[in-house]
Amino acid sequence: MTPSVVLVGPPGAGKSTVGALLAERLGTGYRDTDADIERTAGKPIPDIFVDEGEPYFRELERQAVRTAVAEHPGVLALGGGAVMDPTTRALLTGLPVVFLDVELADAVHRVGLDAPRPLLAVNPRKRWRELMEQRRPLYTEVARAVVATGGRAPAEVADAVLEALGLPAGPTPDITQ
Ligand SMILES: Nc1ncnc2c1ncn2[C@@H]1O[C@H](COP(=O)(O)OP(=O)(O)OP(=O)(O)O)[C@@H](O)[C@H]1O
Ligand SMILES: O=C(O)C1=C[C@@H](O)[C@@H](O)[C@H](O)C1
Ligand SMILES: [Mg+2]
C-alpha cells in the first residue's frame, strides 16, 4: 500500500498540522518521516546533525522515506529536505504528492526563531529563503498539486488538499468539541 497523500514543503508549511487533520478527515493514519528517523536513531534530529552530520541524516531520511512509502497507506509528511535526494524524487513519481507552499513571513511567524531546526540555527530568515530558492523547483517537480497556505487556517488548507487531489471531503470536523 502506498500513501493516500504525501505532503512536502519547507519548515513551517504546516505539513504536520495539516497532515494530522487530513488523516482525521480521511479516517486513516498519519505518519511523519522525521519522527520515523528519530525513532530509528533513538535521538532527536538536531542531535543526529551534531553527532553524525547531515550526510548521515540524509541517508537515514532516504531509507525512512522508502520504507514509509512502501508500507504506509495513510497521510505521509516528508522532512523539509527529503526532496533534495534524486532517488526519493524518483520514488515519488505517480504518487499523490502535494506541495504546501508558504511565504517567508508566514513561515517565520509559524515556526518562530527558537525551534530546534539545525539548518535554521543561524540567521533563520536568510537560511529559510536560500533553502526555499534551492528547493522550490524540486517541491514543484514532485508535486501533483501545489496548495498555497498563506491566509488559510489549517482546516482550510486540508480542504484545499482534498479538493486538489479529488479525494472525498469526509465528515465535517465537530468544532464544538
Ligand atoms: N495554515 C496555517 N496557518 C497558521 N498557522 C499554521 C498553519 N499551518 C501550520 N501552522 C502552525 O505553524 C507551526 C508549524 O506547523 P507544522 O509543524 O505543521 O509545520 P511543518 O511543515 O510540519 O514544519 P517542519 O518541517 O518543521 O516539520 C505550528 O505551530 C502550526 O500550528
Ligand atoms: O529542511 C530540512 O532540511 C529539514 C527539515 C526538517 O523536517 C528535518 O527533516 C530536518 O531538520 C531537516
Ligand atoms: Mg513537521
**Domains of the chain and any CATH numbers:** 5-165 (3.40.50.300)
pLDDT band for position 125 (50/70/90)?
confident
ipTM topping 0.90: yes
Give the distance (Å) from ligand 3 centre to CA of residue 131. 16
Mean pLDDT across the chain? 92
Q: Are 147 and 22 in contact (CB under 8 A)?
A: no
Strands (E), the chain: 5-8, 30-32, 75-77, 97-101, 145-148
Q: Are 100 and 1 in contact (CB under 8 A)?
A: no
Give the distance (Å) from ligand 1 centre to CA of residue 85. 23
Which pLDDT tens digit goes with each residue over 24-72?
999 999 999 999 999 999 999 999 999 999 999 999 999 999 999 999 9
Give the residue whose CA is nearest to atom 5 of ligand 1. Answer: 110
Give the residue whose CA is nearest to atom 27 of ligand 1. Answer: 11
Predicted model pTM = 0.94
30 burial type by CB count under 10 A (0-12 exposed, 13-18 middle, 19+ buried): buried
Which pLDDT tens digit goes with each residue over 82-94?
999 999 999 999 9
- Give pLDDT, residue 114: 56
